[in-house]
Amino acid sequence: VLPGPIRRKLGLRTGDPLDAKVEGGRIVLTPRSTRARKVSIVVDPITGLPVLSAGPNAQLLSSKQVYEILSDFP
């Protein structure tokens, strides 16, 4: 059983599959796959403009990751 704060930090839910392996006498658990997040449109509190939000526990993206994601966008 993983403690709630750890599950929330990793965006895991009860029943999410994990891969387990032993490294240097430690058990390492890794989520098998990321779950598609529900995205919502919210108003940015600073700019007042609409933005997409995947929630407070969503993984943060670097500028490089955003650039790579948008590089194939028409």
Q: What is the pLDDT of residues 49-63, one digit of tens each?
A: 999 888 877 777 888
Name which of 7, 14, 6, 9 is nearest 58 in CA terms. Answer: 9
**More confident: 53 or 36:** 53
Question: Of 20-24, 39-43, 58-62, which range is least confident?
Answer: 58-62
Given a cut of 90, whether residue 48 has pLDDT beyond it is yes
**Domain extents in the chain:** 4-70
- Could you tell me the pTM of the whole model? 0.42
Residues 6+ apart with CB under 8 A from 53: 39, 40, 41, 42
Beta bridge partners of 26: 23
